[in-house]
Chain A
Amino acid sequence: SQQGEEDPQALSIQEGENATMNCSYKTSINNLQWYRQNSGRGLVHLILIRSNEREKHSGRLRVTLDTSKKSSSLLITASRAADTASYFCATLRRLRSGGSNYKLTFGKGTLLTVNP
């Protein structure tokens, strides 16, 4: 079953507007990551937030994490047409305490369309 679930499934906005995508998950995690996928391409890592962090910024990206609600949000400010892509959240969970095995589970993604 999917650990992360993004909301909405699709989002269409005008250039210059802000885009907000949400991710909910079910179990405890070590970190939550956001990835971007342009059509027909592989995924590219955008930003990582650890379970003991609440907010993180990277350029026009802002990620928040609420572990009590098991949810995260990705905000893209001042969007551009080039931001058009699918965005995925992924949760990382260590499989054994103190061990190095982990499981990274992806959600189904949000398709963002930024209209010029």
Chain B
Amino acid sequence: NAGVTQTPKFQVLKTGQSMTLQCAQDMNHEYMSWYRQDPGMGLRLIHYSVGAGITDQGEVPNGYNVSRSTTEDFPLRLLSAAPSQTSVYFCASSTLGQGSAIAKNIQYFGAGTRLSVL
């Protein structure tokens, strides 16, 4: 069971380039999310999705796009990379319980993508 798989592990971009960070999970989780982690800032939520065709913004969505065409995949797109987007990016997934079941949600994280924008 692979869990949450992120590719690539490392990426270097030039300012203005575009790229897509891939995230796939094989646990049939409805909820998927993207975080960025910067020194001294903890994890900040970029975008999240509660199911195929449904996405929403997190704390720091500017400069990033997402889509969710299948339950398994949740790619994160940088349309025009900027040095401020240099960070480590984590994808996570979980079940989406309703009512009292929401109190049991835990996140499964991928290994991360380390991105440098020059």
A residues apposed to B, CB below 8 Å: 2, 30-31, 33, 35, 40-45, 48, 50-51, 88, 90, 92, 94, 98-109
Contacts and interface: CB of A to CB of B under 8 A. Distances in A.
B111 A42 contact: yes
Given A43-B43, A100-B98, A106-B43, 19 more contacts: A30-B102, A30-B103, A31-B103, A31-B104, A35-B107, A40-B112, A42-B90, A43-B90, A44-B109, A48-B104, A90-B107, A92-B103, A98-B98, A99-B98, A100-B96, A103-B58, A104-B105, A106-B44, A108-B41
A2 to B, nearest CB: 6
B108 interface: yes
Contacts of B4: 42
7 contacts: A43-B90, A43-B107, A51-B103, A100-B96, A101-B56, A104-B45, A107-B42
Interface majority SS (helix, strand, loop, mixed), chain A:
strand
B97 A100 contact: yes
B45 A105 contact: yes
Nearest to B40: A108
Interface string B1-42: 000100000000000000000000000000101010000111
Given A50-B103, A94-B102, A100-B96, A106 B35 contact: yes
A106 B99 contact: no
